[in-house]
Structure 1
Amino acid sequence: MIGSAWIRLRRGLGRLVSGQSLQWRLALLTGASVAASVLIVGGAGFLITRWSLLDQLDRDLTRTAQSSASVLASDLDNLDSLTPDLLGSSGSLISLVSATGIAEAPAGQSVTLPTSTEEVAIARLQSDTVERTVAASNGVEYRAVTVPMSVANERGVMYYAVTYARPIETLQNTLSSLWGVTAISGSLGILATTATALWAARAVLAPVKRLSTAVKNVTQTDQLNPIRIYGRDDLGELTQSFNTMLRSLQQSREQQRQLIADAGHELRTPLTSMRTNIELLVADERSGMLPPGARSAILSDVAAQLGEFTALVGDLVALTRDDHLQRPHELVDLSDIVMASVARAQRRGPGIAFDVDTDRSQVMGDASTLERAITNLLDNAVKFSPTGGVVKVRLHHGVVTVIDSGPGIAEEDLPHIFDRFFRSDRARNTPGTGLGLSIVQHTVEAHGGTIKASNHPHGGAQFVMRLPLAEVPAEDEPALFNSME
């Protein structure tokens, strides 16, 4: 029964807390923590104070009771002379209990104390003292102390117990005042702390609220507006990271729009040409208007356009997909990849000679995408090299250099050579999609490397692709590409 009630209480508190905002939760938890601390500290302080006051009162009562016992031990008739004024406290009571349980009080004392077995035991045993709180015959509570006493006379030794008591109304009033002050000050402290915690939580969580508002704004309006940064604390860093994410998202969106626009433009040309040729073939099927041999030429043109269209779609897919980022990179020998790429390029350029020099450079990467990137570099070199030309390929310490025998790259085209769909004036009449070098740059950067295009001093275009080595040689690296001079 108690367990089920506790479970219901806990669930109710959980729903109450979870239904509030984060700042209210922080304020309530802070207030609850302060309330528990006030309760523990206040309760402990009250109990310690009560014990200290009672202990002081008991010591005073014991001293007075022992003094009274000394007076009565000399003569029991002195009992009537033990008035409250003589004992030093108005309203105090005194009683004398014999070992047989007979209680006596001063003649002028109208209020009597109840007799207990403890007093009789002290009278008989003549040892120990007892402190207790009792209610007198008038209904007022008293704090009483009982001490042993013995009287010697001609009949022998008589044993008694002397009880001295004072009203504790003053003590109770003091404790009540202390409890009231503790409760009021504690309540004010709890309220003040909760209010301060609420204010602090609201101030601290203001950047989080701004982030939440910004996220809602992005979701509802599709506007990627950055958030103002307040301070350099953790929340400021979080805001800065969020702004960086917004800028990256904006850049990615712009790149996506540009890619779609460029792809639409580039796809329109082969599609239009293919449509025109197909319409001619359909019209010829109906009327036979084409001269002999024209139909075969148109079909060859359609096949070429279809191949160009397929290559363009393949390059677009290769440029936009990030499967190589999702696949785990493995330790690969870059020289094997370079040699495989050279073999493919030789089949595509039978009239071109390849001068290859490689070392055993090992890198962490995806072999298939790296081979495609190097093959694109070699295909580009073959495309611009004349028949009988030489393409130099060097691999040294993770740096792949490709130099062709072509006319080189115009200086004004160098900043745009890796842009998507960029075609220089020299490449207008050459086959290609304008995406090969973009794919190379995308692959190299995904592997943590860099690529740079320039013109070689002895002629031809030069591409330098750098990839981080998986193992750095201990010896100093010698000068690169001395054999290429």
Structure 2
Amino acid sequence: MISSWWIRIRRAIGRLVSGQSLQWRLALLTGASVAISVLLVGATTFTVTRWSLLDQLDRELVQVAQNATASVAADYADMGRLSAGLLVASNGLLAVVGADASVAQMPGQSRDIAPTPTEVSIARLQFGSSARTLDADGVTYRVVAVPMRIDSSTPVAVMFARPMSGLETTLGTLWVVLLIAGGLGVATATLAALWTGRAVLAPVRRLSQAVKSVTQTDELNPIRIYGRDDLGELTQSFNTMLRSLAQSREQQRQLIADAGHELRTPLTSMRTNIELLVADDTSGMLPEGARTEVLGDVAAQLGEFSALVGDLVALTRDDHLQRPHELVDLADITVAAVERARRRGPGIEFDMSLETTPIMGDPSTLERAITNLLDNAVKFSPSDGVIRVHLEEGELTIIDQGPGIEEDDLPLVFDRFYRSDKARNTPGTGLGLAIVAHTAEVHGGSVKAGNQPGAGAKFTLRLPILEAPLEAFE
């Protein structure tokens, strides 16, 4: 039962807190924490103060009772000649209890004091003292008992009682003070937390406004950084994300623009040739053999179009981020790429010098990248030329016998769709080297273009070597 109520209370508090803003949530939690602390401190203070005042009252009453025993013992028949009026003046009640539980009350006092077994025991044992609280006619009394002997054969105990109105008034005043001070403390702490939360969460609100602005206006404006604390670092990270997003958006826009431009050429050419073939079906306008030539043109343009689309997909796909890399030998991948390149340049000789190179990578994307480098070498080399392929210490070098690369073109050869003046009349999509650069970056490596003195272009692909035993490839 208690468990179910506790669960309900927790859910109610959770709904109350979760429905508020972060600033109010912080203020409410702070106020609740302070309230619990004030409650614990106030309860402790009240308990300790009550115990201290009660102990002080007991000592005072015991002293009065002990003083009264001398008078009562001297004249027990007349109760030491103590008058009820004198006791009333001190708001006290007096009674004597015997070892046989008999009680002698002070004549003329307003109330009688009934003894308890504890007080009878004190009379019998003649040792110690006792204190208790007595409620009589709506008045709370504090009763103490001390031992006394009337003579050697008559052990008794003197009971003395006094109202606790003064102590109750003091405790009531203390409770009001604690309640007011605690309430003011909780209210002050809550307001302070509300103000502090507003100041502390200002950068978070700016971030929220920036996100709303990006959503509503599609403008990637950076946010001003006001400090070097954690929120400042968060703002800086958000600005970095905005810059990356803006750069990615620009690259995407440029890619779409370039792709649209590059795709338009083969599509236009194919459309022209197809329209020509359609017109020839009705009019027979083409001379003999021309139709076959046009169909060959369409097939070539379709192949160029398919290659361009394939390269675009390979360059923009992100599945390499999900595919796990595996332990591979870069030499084996290079051999497979060379075999593919041989079919595209049957008269070209490949001079290979490869050493075992263990790396972590994706074999398919690496083979495609190396094939693109070899295809580029085959494209610009003479039909009976020699292409040197050298692999050593994670560095793959491919040198052709072509015309080389102009110095002005070297920084641009890995850009998407870039084609130098020498390459404009050669087949290709302008994306092959961009795919190589992208693959090298994904694998933590790099690629560099240059010229080899006495030869042609020189491409160097560097990939990080994995320290693995050679037996792994045996």
Amino acid at match of 1:368: S
Larger mean Cα displacement after TM superposition, 253-262 or 350-359: 350-359
Q: Could you say which residue in structure 2 is the equivalent of 1:408?
A: 404
Does residue 163 (structure 1) correspond to residue 162 (structure 2)? The answer is: no
Q: Distance in 2 between matches of 1:198 and 1:472?
A: 59
Deviates more, 1:403-412 or 1:433-442: 403-412
Identify if the C-alpha distance between structure 1 residues 84 and 336 changes in structure 2 by more than 3 Å, giving closer, same or farther.
farther
Alignment partner of 1:203: what SS?
helix
Query: What TM-score, normalized to structure 2?
Result: 0.92
Letter in 1 for 2:461: M
Q: Which amino acid aligns with 1:352?
A: I
Comparing 350-359 and 445-454, the one that deviates more: 350-359
Q: CA deviation at 1:467?
A: 0.6
CA distance in 2, matches of 1:83, 1:203: 72
For the 8 Å contact 2:71–2:80, the answer to whether it is kept is: no
SS at match of 1:210: helix
Tell whether the 8 Å contact from 1:80 to 1:106 is kept in structure 2 after alignment.
Answer: no
CA contact (8 A) 1:113 1:136 kept: no
Which stretch of structure 1 is more off in the superposition, 339-348 or 263-272? 339-348
The number of residue pairs the alignment matches comes to: 469
CA distance in 1, matches of 2:134, 2:277: 123
**Alignment partner, residue 389 of structure 2:** 393
Paired letter, 1:301:
D
Tell me the distance in 1 between the aligned counterparts of 2:222 and 2:462. Answer: 35
Q: Structure 1 CA distance, aligned partners of 2:178 and 2:375?
A: 88
SS at match of 1:411: coil
- 2:346 corresponds, among 341, 350, 354, to 350
Greater mean deviation of Cα atoms: 30-39 or 196-205: 196-205
Matched residue type, 1:76: Y
Letter in 2 for 1:10: R
Inter-partner Cα distance in structure 1 for 2:459 and 2:365 = 18
The one-letter code matched in structure 2 to 1:21 is: S
Partner of 1:132: 132
303-312 vs 383-392, greater mean Cα deviation: 383-392
Cα separation, partners in 2 of 1:366 and 1:89, compared to 1, 3 Å: farther
Out of 416, 423, 438, the residue aligned to residue 442 of structure 1 is 438
Residue of 456, 461, 469 corresponding to 2:457 = 461
Name the counterpart of 1:478: none
User: What is the distance in 2 between the residues matched to 1:215 and 1:424?
Assistant: 42
Quote the Cα distance in structure 1 between the aligned partners of 2:463 and 2:77.
116
SS class of match (2:414): coil
TM-score (norm 1): 0.90
- Written as runs of structure 1 = structure 2, the 5 A alignment for 1:51-200 is 51-76=51-76, 79-82=79-82, 90-99=90-99, 103-106=103-106, 110-118=109-117, 119-135=119-135, 140-152=139-151, 157-200=153-196
Instruction: Pick closer, same or farther for the CA change 1:136–1:423 going to 2, 3 Å.
Output: closer
Q: Does 1:321 align with 2:320?
A: no
In the alignment, structure 1 residue 11 sits paired with structure 2 residue 11: yes
**Distance across 2 between alignment mates of 1:362 and 1:449:** 14
Provide, for residues 33-77 of structure 1, a one-character-per-residue CA deviation record: whole Å limited to 9, x for no partner.
211111111101111110111111111211221222133223325
Which residue is 2:327 aligned to?
331
Q: Please give the per-residue CA displacement for 1:303-339, whole angstroms capped at 9, x wherever unaligned.
A: 1111111111111111111222211000000000111
Aligned to 1:33: 33
Rounded to whole Å, the distance in 2 between the matches of 1:376 and 1:340 is 12
Secondary structure at the aligned position of 2:408 is classed as helix
Aligned equivalent of 1:284: 280
Q: CA deviation at 1:83?
A: 5.7
125-134 or 290-299: which moved more? 125-134
The correspondence of residues 352-371 of structure 1 with structure 2, limited to 5 A, is: 352-371=348-367
